[in-house]
Amino acid sequence: MRKLRKERRKKGRLHINSPLMGESLVSKSFLRHTEAPEYFRMHPDINVLKIGGQSIIDRGREAVFPILDVLVQAKERHKIILMAGGGTRTRHIFSIGVDLGMPTGVLSKLADKVSWQNAEMLSVLLAKHGGVKIGHGDNLEQLTMFCQLGYIPITYGIPPYGYFEHPAEYGSIPPHRTDCGAFLLAENIGARSLIYLKDERGLYEDDPKKYTKGERKSLKYFSRISADQLLAMDLDDLIVERDVLVFLKRSKTMKELQIVDALNHPEHILAALDGEHVGTIIYRD
């Protein structure tokens, strides 16, 4: 032991041989060689469902209860985790924060409180059916176990960037909100599917809510489109956060996502979980 200590003092720091020793971790040519032939999927049977805050939850019981009824049915056939959006209250806090000159990271911290509240309400409403609220750092490796035991795990959608949120390309609103949070979770657990529960049929070339019922008919609807195509089109408005498309383009495990009209057609949730194409599918090239 004394001899080993002397040897350490002579040679200095002990090193561990690694293929990454001495390599630049910002070299593009080197980073291409770190691509894994196949990525491990922690929860390949879990379906991530993101329920819109403004599109669903803010509308109250008439919108929420029929969807919860479907989710109770769904958990008997599928493993699901429910992620809550923020909605109108998030927009209200953003409005105040922007007026006060709050930086993007502070706005992100403010937003996660609203999404957390929505997740809390959903977990209370689903408690008798096994609804249980979990945090971002708690029990995510146990999602499959929760589902096998009959639970419906529920969490909030805002990703935990907080003060470390990326600067926004335009303005100061955090670019990574609840749509992004749902994608990041699905990608990193290797989920079976990612489904966004909205109040529209899917993706149009512009927000259909800006048009009258007659004018909507002239809007182009996308039943199936690639992330690359959408990014190239650079539409002014989208039904999901723009960075979701960037994530999908770079994804390792997720090949596509689907946007469904859960407000007017709650039954589309079960159909989408069963693998049916009932909304807009955005896929990775």
User: For the chain, which residues make up each domain, given as ranges?
Assistant: 41-283
Look at residue 39 in the predicted model and tell me its pLDDT. Answer: 95
* Band (10; pLDDT cuts 50, 70, 90): low
* Band (25; pLDDT cuts 50, 70, 90): confident
Residue range 54-104, pLDDT digits in tens: 999 999 999 999 999 999 999 999 999 999 999 999 999 999 999 999 999
pLDDT at 2 over 70: no
Mean pLDDT score of the chain: 92
Look at residue 4 in the predicted model and tell me its pLDDT. Answer: 46
Least confident of 3-7, 196-200, 229-233: 3-7
29: part of which helix (H) or strand (E)? helix 28-31
In this structure, is the dihedral angle defined by the CA atoms of residues 135, 267, 214 and 281, taken in order, positive or negative?
Answer: positive
Distance CA(120)–CA(87), nearest Å, equals 14
pLDDT at 7 over 90: no
Distance CA(265)–CA(199), nearest Å, equals 9
Contact 177, 52 (CB under 8 A): no
CB neighbours of residue 58 within 10 Å: 18
- Domain 41-283 is of which CATH architecture? 3-Layer(aba) Sandwich (3.40)
Look at residue 213 in the predicted model and tell me its pLDDT. Answer: 83
Distance CA(174)–CA(281), nearest Å, equals 25
154: part of which helix (H) or strand (E)? strand 152-156
Contact 81, 138 (CB under 8 A): no
pLDDT at 26 over 60: yes
